[in-house]
Structure 1
Amino acid sequence: MPCYRLSKDLFSRLISCSIACLLSCGSLAAQTADRPAGPVPLRSVAEFALHYDARLENPFMEIEAGAVFSGPDGRASKVEGFYDGKGTWRFRFVPRIPGPWKAALRLIRGGETVASREESFLCSPGNNRGFLELSPTNRYRLQYEGGTPYYPVGIQTCGETEAGLDGPPRGEGKWRTVPMEKYLQAYEGAANLCRIQLGAGTRNGCAWEVITDPPGLYRYDLEICRRLDELYRLLSRHGFSTILIPFQDMSLWGTDSTAFGSTHDLEGWKNIHNSEAVRPVRHYLRYLVARYAAFTDIWELFNEDAFTPDEWLSAMAAYVDSLDPYGHLLTTNYERPLAAWCDLVTPHEYMWMPAREVDAHLAKEFARLKSFGKPVLYTEFGNQGGLTNRDPVKWRIAVWTAFMNESAILFWSMGGILVPEVENPKGGGNANAYLGPEARAYFRNFLSFVRDLPLDLRPVMVGYGERGDELRRYALSNGRLTLLYLQHFTGHESAAQGDVYVWTGPGSFEIEWYDPASGRVASTQKEKTEGNVLIFRSAPVTSDLAARIRREQ
């Protein structure tokens, strides 16, 4: 795949190509290409391949691979192919309308067609919910393509074929890893979003090193790429949506060397006007979009970048968007919420505070971050300093607090070792979030509670605590259904109660108290009001408690 863009003329030729064109390629033409074995379920990946066995100095550069997929509605989608080794170029496409589809595939070398074919396939109805998108109902929420609400709880595997899970306490054993399939099984129903970092000549953080030195620029590590293919397929089978980061950066924390240059290099690759330095960056992004757009939901351009100029980010976001046939959401970290191209606010947070203080801090931060009018999704969240990484109640309160503030959290979550609390930590301390069986059970309870909730639930007035009151209150409502979340902020050793004033509108209501720890209904009660505010006494709250308040007909 060269570093220039497919032209409109090339795509018009793709649509009109025929079997005769394929035969005319002579000895250079490919052998029969791969294709789906049967119908492709709706919103699933259809994969095709073309083969070309001529000797090439750099097949990533010398062949232009393009395809046009035409659907039953008559619309055409342009998709680029990618080199996958041994004379094979692959094309991935996600059909989003059931019915008969046609695909016109072509390889171009030096302006001449060297392999091509037309294919037909059937897209069958399926239950795949599709890619993530912004909700038109609530600007702070996400949904799947069909409109199904999506309330994320995220993790990061920090592994290619294995990941850390349920490791022993430090000093009592080694870091524990399990095969990725077993790891994702452990999180099934407990998380639904996974973040993947890529590195171009760096493995800092948890980066997959897609570009290595040697062989250097314009070439990609196909073994790593195929492992990532398999991870994506596993994630899809286990119900995960995904974030892909092209550039592991961390330039706020020091200078790192990448295949493109230093992370602080504002004259070279991070200067959008330096066309020579930017050219391999564009080629890299083009390869990633061709290979992974069919699997990815969100492009997060950088991880912890503090040096890249706004105009560079704007230009590269536009470039990715121009290549992406699905129009995936775009963001970066550190967050650039004022940028017009940026769809999500994606901060990081590492906290040095006990569980009972987390909700107040997060509520304040969510209020600030939501002021930009975009969804807020922490793409890293963990501890700081000497705190233990095992704090399932803190993680539970954080997830519930985020949801009640129309936001979400993805954890920096490597569970290979359990780190005890340290009184006087040296250095940066422990940033990890150990999401063991208890935390995962809490997350399953949360996702079960929110799974079918409508997107039009918005924050409403909730108060008042009398002097000496020990509960913080959060509420969402759409007038028909109201949700309440209470946190006992003075301590979790004994129960507290308080009066609740929540804006519901007049009517009769059934209150169902839900225990986030056990996932069970704790109690129910009935209340009514002739005014707009429903006033009632809470059930006892030890750590936290939620409630569904349903209007009775």
Structure 2
Amino acid sequence: MEYFRKIALCVLCLITSVWQLNAQVKKVPQWERFEVALQGTSDGNPFTDVSLAAAFWQQGGDTVNVQGFYDGDGRYIIRFMPALPGMWHYVTQSNMLSLTGKQGTLECVPAVADNHGPVRVKDTHNFMYADSTVYYPLGTTAYAWTHMSQPVQEKTLLSLGKARFNKLRMCVFPKNYGLCKEEPVIYPFLVKEYSSGKPVFDFTRFNPAFFRHLEKRIDNLKHLGVEADLILFHPYDKGRWGFDSMPMEINVAYIKYLTARLASFSNVWWSLANEYDYVKAKNEADWNILIRTVAASDPYGHLCSIHGSTATYFPYWMEALTHTSIQDEAPVEDFGRASIVRGVYRKPVIFDEVCYEGNLASRWGRLSGPEMLHRIWQGLIAGTYVTHGECYQWNTGSMDTIFWAKGGEWRGESWKRIPFTRSLLDSLPQPLQLADVSRDHRTATAGDGYYLIYFGRQIQDEWLFNLPAKNASYQKVRSGTKYKVEIIDTWNMTVTEYPGTFEVGKTIDYRHYDVNLRKVRLPLLPYLMLRVTVTNE
């Protein structure tokens, strides 16, 4: 009896040990953050004196090396974003004895339903999330919103939730610009002293509080389904803080610190600069170094680009750049131009600035709402993407209504059409591209038997049913196939099914017409689009 009692006690101890071990293994959903916090020295300058990294691996799998960072008050942090379910092991490395050789295990469990992972490039010209869900960027712009007062920041998040944009262009550094002059409450670097009322920074010491606040706002965006397109540098400083003219070694250190803190955030994109060619302290060789620094410092390969002034195209063929970020309205003002840019770069094309809806005196800030939406659709039809912006100025004293600069509340009209636009894109079987590029600039295909035909500003009372014989790389139109037609009013947000079906005949000069040459009667309105799809009726 005593023997069996000892056996039972051993089994109970073994079960208890296994339970305690499992309890110590933290479960982290796929593409979420796992964090290791270590206590170390605060002596000297921990930002420059202490190196910290960790290797994460699965048994028989690849190793992911990540950099740690100093978070103030003797606290050091390592963050990791697991991409594959299963058990992960890690060990730390540091030049400080108290931080090195720390080991542990985490279990990556399947992602929660609303987390699709980081955005990647899909099939050369498009995007998808890491779980293969297609991602269509419909973004907007609020450059300095995280540097505004807390009430303005909260209003910005509420506004973004209403509009359903899924990308936001935003600056890490504050802006000193004619329409944005607010002094930030906290700075990215620690202040050594004040000279004539101006802060003098120690560029070798970061301000952890600043970056914690930025992280909070990036997480806020994630909960809204918004990708944070982070602009790392910009020219809108002009000596006020000196962030646009820091020495190269400081620029590199800043990038390494930023990526160590933020690369584990699944909704981060890197944009090296806004209007990089206006940053006079850097040349193209400098930008190449900084781009490569971002790529080398990010173990997860987040999307990365750089943005120039109007019609200034960076060499986007550079391997470390995943997509374009172009400021140029010309390609989306008329049919056919955007597809030329798409054909030049074997990468996704985003026109991140095509002027903005607003009432500013500046020519780049006074589009009407319909024109803003029209330019978005001009890009989409051509297989490219366009970023929105709004800059209405009602109060020239406070200027807090300019969403493009500061966020806050919407004042325009085009933002209201974004949920409808997203619903149309989300219903596509495949991403859009021109069906017969160079010869039909209005007809886009989204796969076998699925077309969108956009009329833009043109107003007409009828349309003769016809489709191009070519259908990009998809199945060509076949004689005898029947189609249904829906009339989409992109501005008034309506979809109306047209009565009857259309049957195509044999090709005539590379086009297929209805066998009875039937036409579609159209409302006399601009910004109409037809959705033509195969039907079994």
Aligned mates of 1:386, 1:288 — CA distance in 2: 34
Aligned mates of 1:197, 1:449 — CA distance in 2: 30
Aligned partner of 1:374 in structure 2 is 347
* Residue 107 of structure 2 corresponds to residue 119 of structure 1: no
Aligned partner of 1:499 in structure 2 is 464
Aligned mates of 1:45, 1:509 — CA distance in 2: 48
Task: Say which SS state the counterpart of residue 243 (structure 1) adopts.
Answer: strand
1:30-41 map, 5 Å: 38-41=26-29
Aligned mates of 1:463, 1:338 — CA distance in 2: 23
8 Å CA contact retained: 1:390, 1:436 = no
Aligned partner of 1:300 in structure 2 is 271
Aligned mates of 1:58, 1:456 — CA distance in 2: 50
Task: Say which SS state the counterpart of residue 73 (structure 2) adopts.
Answer: coil
Aligned partner of 1:475 in structure 2 is 444
Q: CA deviation at 1:238?
A: 0.6
Q: Which structure would you say has the larger Rg?
A: 2
Task: Say which SS state the counterpart of residue 37 (structure 2) adopts.
Answer: strand
* Residue 28 of structure 2 corresponds to residue 45 of structure 1: no
* Residue 300 of structure 2 corresponds to residue 317 of structure 1: no
CA displacement 1:382-426 (0-9 Å, x = unmatched): 3474677573222221222211111112234456x4489xxxxxx
Instruction: Give the partner amino acid of 1:290.
Output: A
1:345-364 map, 5 Å: 345-349=324-328, 360-361=333-334, 363-364=336-337
Q: CA deviation at 1:444?
A: 0.5
Match of 1:344 among 302, 323, 333: 323
CA displacement 1:426-473 (0-9 Å, x = unmatched): xxx9987995474232010000110142445431249999xxxxxx83
8 Å CA contact retained: 1:106, 1:113 = no
Q: CA deviation at 1:305?
A: 1.7
Q: CA deviation at 1:202?
A: 6.3
Structure 1 window deviating more from structure 2 (281-290 vs 538-547): it is 538-547
Aligned mates of 1:120, 1:145 — CA distance in 2: 23
8 Å CA contact retained: 1:509, 1:550 = yes
Two-structure CA RMSD over aligned residues (Å): 3.6
1:20-169 map, 5 Å: 38-52=26-40, 54-71=41-58, 74-109=61-96, 112-114=97-99, 116-126=101-111, 127=113, 128-136=115-123, 139-161=124-146
Q: CA deviation at 1:144?
A: 1.2
Aligned partner of 1:28 in structure 2 is none
Aligned partner of 2:373 in structure 1 is 396
Aligned mates of 1:405, 1:350 — CA distance in 2: 14
Aligned mates of 1:386, 1:99 — CA distance in 2: 55
Aligned partner of 1:272 in structure 2 is none
Match of 1:283 among 243, 250, 253: 253
Task: Say which SS state the counterpart of residue 382 (structure 1) adopts.
Answer: coil
Match of 2:454 among 461, 467, 485: 485
* Residue 509 of structure 2 corresponds to residue 522 of structure 1: no
Match of 2:482 among 498, 508, 512: 508
1:239-254 map, 5 Å: 239-249=225-235
CA displacement 1:11-56 (0-9 Å, x = unmatched): xxxxxxxxxxxxxxxxxxxxxxxx999522111122221111x341
Distance 1:72 1:528, change over 3 A: farther
Instruction: Give the partner amino acid of 2:377.
Output: W
Distance 1:392 1:160, change over 3 A: closer
Aligned partner of 2:11 in structure 1 is none
8 Å CA contact retained: 2:54, 2:65 = yes
Aligned partner of 1:409 in structure 2 is 386
8 Å CA contact retained: 1:363, 1:402 = no
CA displacement 1:195-227 (0-9 Å, x = unmatched): 22123x965587985236533222112222111
* Residue 434 of structure 2 corresponds to residue 459 of structure 1: yes
* Residue 514 of structure 2 corresponds to residue 537 of structure 1: no
8 Å CA contact retained: 2:142, 2:403 = no
8 Å CA contact retained: 1:481, 1:548 = yes
CA displacement 1:333-368 (0-9 Å, x = unmatched): 2131354233322122479xxxxxx95447525534
Aligned partner of 1:236 in structure 2 is 222
Aligned mates of 1:473, 1:365 — CA distance in 2: 12
Aligned mates of 1:179, 1:215 — CA distance in 2: 26
Task: Say which SS state the counterpart of residue 301 (structure 1) adopts.
Answer: strand
Identity of aligned pairs, percent?
20
| Structure 1, gaps ≥5 residues long | 1-34, 165-176, 263-268, 270-276, 352-357, 421-428, 466-471
Aligned mates of 2:269, 2:391 — CA distance in 1: 21
Distance 1:124 1:344, change over 3 A: same
Q: CA deviation at 1:121?
A: 1.9
* Residue 530 of structure 2 corresponds to residue 547 of structure 1: yes
Distance 1:462 1:370, change over 3 A: closer
Aligned mates of 1:328, 1:41 — CA distance in 2: 19
CA displacement 1:110-151 (0-9 Å, x = unmatched): xx4545522222222123111111112xx2212112222111
Aligned mates of 1:463, 1:327 — CA distance in 2: 34
Instruction: Give the partner amino acid of 1:333.
Output: H
Task: Say which SS state the counterpart of residue 293 (structure 2) adopts.
Answer: helix
8 Å CA contact retained: 1:463, 1:500 = no
Aligned mates of 2:24, 2:375 — CA distance in 1: 43
Match of 1:441 among 416, 423, 427: 416
Aligned mates of 1:366, 1:93 — CA distance in 2: 39
Aligned mates of 1:460, 1:328 — CA distance in 2: 31
Aligned partner of 2:212 in structure 1 is 226
Aligned mates of 1:310, 1:73 — CA distance in 2: 41
Aligned mates of 2:332, 2:140 — CA distance in 1: 20
Aligned mates of 1:344, 1:97 — CA distance in 2: 25
